[in-house]
Amino acid sequence: MATLPLPAIVPLASADDNYRQYHDVLRSTAAAASTVPQFKQLHANILRSGVERSLSFLLSKMLSLPVSSTTSLDYVLAVFMYSPPLDPRFCHRALRAFSRAGDGPAGLS
């Protein structure tokens, strides 16, 4: 499995400029991610940094993958259920992806 080059963890008390730099690196890294393990690696990095504002971008990127496999949708659902309140636009995208998945663990029945 190929790993992604991730930025150094930014402490919670860091300045806004550091957060912006960290977020920019996360965005470019997420753009290169194409597998569920790579997204899990990004998610772990976000959780360790304490910068949860990045979660909606990460989940949105996962939903936009050309092949939304059952595994990726299960993972998105698990993160979605335990996330702080998300932007309603993201919630609509997530519901659309889940409804298109059909029946099964990741789909809406």
- Residue 4's closest CA among 57, 45, 49? 45
State which amino acid sits at residue 26: L
Question: pLDDT at residue 33 above 60?
Answer: yes
Residue whose pair of structure tokens reads 């080059």 in the numeric block = 5
Number of folded domains in the chain?
A: 1
pLDDT value at residue 70:
67
Task: Specify the pTM.
Answer: 0.59
Give the domain range for residue 88. 35-100
Question: pLDDT at residue 12 above 50?
Answer: no
Residue 54 lies in a domain: yes
Q: Which two tokens stand for residue 42?
A: 């990004």
Residue 89 lies in a domain: yes
